[in-house]
Amino acid sequence: MRNTPAKSIDNYIQGFPENVQAILKELRQVIREQAPQATETISYGIPTFKLNGNLVHFGAFKNHISFFPTSSGIQAFEKELVPYEISKGTVRFPLNEPIPFSLIKKIVTFRVNEVSAKRN
């Protein structure tokens, strides 16, 4: 979908069709609400939130939204993620199905607590 690397999350989101932009904006807002102290950047060419290191990443693809909460985020919510395609540190949400924002909130909260515990 994108031909050039994004310079910011806003720039990244603008590179997609409006229906995908709406999902990405909502996903970004959900992450911001759960991790208000995290900083936003582009890392590995995709939107990234950092809090004592990488917190979560997300990206849009032709048929899905990928959410990257690290392997610990996937393992902690393995049962809830059964309906989705998952790998070690990634979950793929099909674009033709509702995005489970409430589950994403729980995962981001888990990651915030995880990285905060490591810092203490």
Residue 21's contacts (CB-CB under 8 Å, 6 or more residues apart) are: 13, 14
Average pLDDT over residues 85-104: 96
| Global confidence as pTM | 0.93
Domains held by the chain: number: 1
Confirm whether 1 is domain-assigned. no
Region 7-12 average pLDDT: 94
Task: Supply the pLDDT for residue 57.
Answer: 97
Residue 53 lies in a domain: yes
* 3 part of a folded domain: no
Whichever domain contains 63, its CATH number is 3.90.1150.200
pLDDT band at 3 (very low <50, low <70, confident <90, very high): low
- In the numeric block, which tokens belong to residue 37? 């102290």
Please write the tens of the pLDDT for every residue from 28-75: 999 999 999 999 999 999 999 999 999 999 999 999 999 999 999 999
Q: Has residue 4 been placed in a domain?
A: no
CA-closest candidate to residue 46, choices 35, 31, 76: 31
Task: State the residue range of the domain holding 42.
Answer: 9-119
